[in-house]
Amino acid sequence: MTEQIIDTPRRGRPPMLRTEAPEIQADTGPRKSARKPFGAMTLKLAYPERKGFHRHWFNETTGRIQRAQEAGYEHVVSEGKPVQKVVGTAEGGGPLNAFLMEIPQEWYDEDMAAQQREIDEKEKAIRRGELEGQDGDNRYVPSQGISIKRS
């Protein structure tokens, strides 16, 4: 290894050195998986889709996985084990895991439609000035009603 001075001292600073490292041969042997450059933009929770199913990551918090199973979600299994990743820090200070689960797309679409119907009903109540209203709460509702604008 050789060193060369590439900058002269300024204001009492030592000179900067450039170190020439010995030449390193690249590993040309076969790789077991595709190389992913460090620092490349990748999604931490990316996972291949499965046709006809909706996949979702569920954090392993109290009752969350059980609730997902009650809704019809099942674990995605790879090499005989549920697919999971560390996604943060749990309340006790240990790792917070998330499990990849899936549900038939048809069920997911039905669930989303039911949620949208609830939202639509709340919006209608807002427009009428009746959302969570109580007798005598003296709410003001303009004669033209309340409008909700979406962007």
Where does residue 97 fall: left (phi above 0), alpha (psi -120 to 50 degrees), or beta otherwise?
A: beta
Q: 106 or 15: whose pLDDT is higher?
A: 106
Predicted TM-score of the model (pTM): 0.62
Question: Domain boundaries in the chain?
Answer: 54-128
Q: What is the pLDDT of residues 27-83, one digit of tens each?
A: 565 666 678 788 888 888 999 999 999 999 999 999 999 999 999 999 999 999 999
